[in-house]
Structure 1
Amino acid sequence: MVEDTGDIGGEKEAVLSAPLSLDDEQDTNNNKYRAPNLVKRILSLFTNIRPGSDLTRLQLPPLFNIPKSQLQCYGELVYSNNNHLLSKCGASSISALERFVCVVAWSISAVRPLAFGVTPYNPILGETHHVSTANLNVLLEQVSHHPPVSALHATDQMQNIETIWCHYVIPTFHGTCIEGKVLGSKVLKLLNHSETYVMNSPNLVMRLFPVQGVECLGNVMIRCEETGLEANLMYKGSAVFGRRSSTHRAIQGRIYKSSSTKTLYEIAGHWDKTVTAKDPMSGKLRIIYNAKEAIGGLKTPVVRNPKGLWASESAVVWGEVNKGILSKSWDKAREAKCLIEEKERELVKLRASSAKPWRPKHFNLSYSNETGSWDCSPIQRWVPPAPIAVPP
Structure 2
Amino acid sequence: MVSEGELGTMVVLTAPLSLERENSDANYRAPNVLQRILSLLNHVRPGSDLTRIQLPPMFNLPKSQLQCYGESVYCNSSDMLNKCAKQETALDRFTSVVAWSISTVRPLMFGVAPYNPVLGETHHVSRGTLNVLLEQVSHHPPVTALHATDEKENMEIIWCHHPLPKFYGTHIETEVQGKRQVKLLDKNETYIMNSPKLVIRFFPVPSVDWMGNVTIQCQETGLEAELSYRGNSFLPRPSVHRSIKGKIFMSSSSKTMYVIDGHWDRTVTVKDVFSEKVTVIYNAEEAISGLKTPIVKDPKGILPGESTLVWAEVSKNILQNCWDKAKKEKNSIEERQRELAREAKLKGECWSPKHFTISHSDETGWDCLPNQKLVPPAPIVVPPVESPIGGGCN
Given the alignment, which residue of 361, 382, 387 partners 2:379?
387
Q: Structure 2 stretches of 5 or more lacking a match?
A: 1-5, 385-394
Which residue is 1:308 aligned to? Answer: 301
Distance 2:211 2:203 in 1: 17
TM-score (norm 1): 0.95
Pairing 1:327–2:316 present:
no
Distance of 2:124 and 2:237 partners within structure 1: 37
Q: Equivalences for 1:1-392 in 2 at 5 Å?
A: 13-28=10-25, 30=26, 32-91=27-86, 93-238=87-232, 240-241=234-235, 243-371=236-364, 373-392=365-384
User: Structure 1: how far apart are the matches of 2:344 and 2:45?
Assistant: 31
Alignment check: 8 A CA contact 2:294 2:381 kept: yes
- Within 2, Cα distance between the matches of 1:370 and 1:102? 30
1: CA distance between counterparts of 2:183 and 2:9?
Answer: 36
Q: Quote how far apart the aligned CAs of 1:327 are.
A: 1.0
1:5 maps to what in 2?
A: none
Amino acid at match of 1:386: A
Amino acid in the other structure paired with 1:319: A
Give the deviation of 1:10 after TM superposition. 6.6
Partner of 2:389: none
For residues 111-151 of structure 1, the C-alpha deviation after alignment (integer angstroms, 9 at most, x for no partner) is 00011100000000000000000110000000000100000
The secondary structure found in structure 2 opposite 1:307 is helix
Alignment partner of 2:353: what SS? Answer: coil
Q: Note the C-alpha offset of 1:332.
A: 1.3
Partner of 1:6: none
TM-score normalised over the length of structure 2: 0.94
SS of residue matched to 1:33:
coil
Task: Tell me the amino acid that sits aligned with residue 81 of structure 2.
Answer: L
Aligned AA (1:25): E
Contact 1:20 1:73 in 2 (8 A): yes
1:287: Cα distance to partner?
A: 0.4
AA aligned opposite 1:178: I
Structure 1 letter corresponding to 2:271: K
In the TM superposition, residue 25 of structure 1 has moved relative to its aligned partner by: 2.0
* Partner SS, residue 52 of structure 2: coil
CA drift of 1:11 comes to: 5.7
Question: SS where residue 14 of structure 1 aligns?
Answer: strand
Deviation at 1:90, TM superposition (A): 0.7
Amino acid at match of 2:23: Q
Secondary structure of the 1:231 match is strand
Q: Amino acid of the residue matched to residue 50 of structure 1?
A: R
Please tell me the residue identity of whatever aligns with 2:275. Answer: S
What is the SS of the residue equivalent to 1:364? strand
User: What is the alpha-carbon distance in structure 2 between the residues aligned to residue 87 and residue 313 of structure 1?
Assistant: 27
Deviates more, 1:37-46 or 1:121-130: 37-46
SS in 2 for 1:178: strand
Alpha-carbon distance change, 262 to 352 in structure 1, aligned in 2, over 3 angstroms: same
User: Partners in 2 of 1:357 and 1:10 — Cα distance?
Assistant: 33
**Which sits farther off after the overlay, 331-340 or 101-110?**
331-340
Unaligned runs of 5+ in 1: 1-8
Q: 1:33 and 1:328 mapped to 2: Cα distance?
A: 7
Deviations 1:275-314 (A, max 9, x none): 0011111111110000010000111011000000001000
In structure 2, do the counterparts of structure 1 residues 11 and 363 end up closer, same or farther at CA, with 3 Å as the change threshold?
farther
Partners of 1:138 and 1:246 lie apart in 2 by: 36
Q: 1: distance between equivalents of 2:250 and 2:108? A: 34
Q: Per-residue displacement from partner, 1:227-248 (whole Å, max 9, x unpaired)?
A: 000000000112534x242011
CA contact (8 A) 1:10 1:307 kept: no
Moved over 3 A (4+): 9-12
Q: CA deviation at 1:211?
A: 1.6
Q: Is the 8 A contact 1:236 1:247 kept in 2?
A: yes
Over residues 81-117 of structure 1, what are the superposed CA-to-partner deviations in whole Å (9 max), with x where a residue is unaligned? 11121111111x5211000010000000010001110
Q: Aligned-pair distance for 1:26?
A: 2.2
Structure 2 SS opposite 1:286:
strand
- State whether residues 15 and 323 of structure 1, in contact with CA within 8 Å, keep that contact through their aligned partners in structure 2: yes
What is the number of residues matched between the two proteins? 380
1:166-189 CA-to-partner distances (Å, cap 9, x unmatched) read 001100011111010110000110
